[in-house]
Amino acid sequence: MTHLLAHFDVGDFDTWKRKTFDQDPAGRQQAAKGHVIARSVDNPNEVFIRVEFDSAEQAKAFRERLMASGVLDRVTVKTPPTVVEVADQATY
């Protein structure tokens, strides 16, 4: 499995989710298999995003579109979008 991981402070989660993430300016829904958004318990405007792709090439292409879209200028980037492959996974 290939994922794109990112960590942002979005300022106002509800506004960011509705006006930025859900608007999908880089075409996430056309390229990815799905996503997970997690919020910090201590700061609900701090988000951790995981987007799943079929391949590293698809994830890298999406990351390039995301970076070029200018959408990251609207958030505080804590960890830039990074393409990773799952090395180990378990369910308990």
* CA 70/CA 26 separation, integer angstroms: 9
b vs e for 34-63, b when ≥16 Cβ sit within 10 Å of the residue's Cβ?
eeeeeeeeeeebbbebebbbeeeebbebbb
pLDDT in tens, 17-69: 999 999 999 999 999 999 999 999 999 999 999 999 999 999 999 999 999 99
The pLDDT value given to residue 59: 97
Domains and CATH numbers, the chain: 2-85 (3.30.70.100)
What is the C-alpha to C-alpha distance for residues 27 and 48, in angstroms, rounded to an integer? 19
pLDDT in tens, 56-79: 999 999 999 999 999 999 999 999
Residue 21's pLDDT is 96
The predicted pLDDT at position 62 comes to 97
- What's the CA gap between 43 and 39, in Å, rounded? 7
pTM of the full structure: 0.93
Residue 91 has a pLDDT of 96
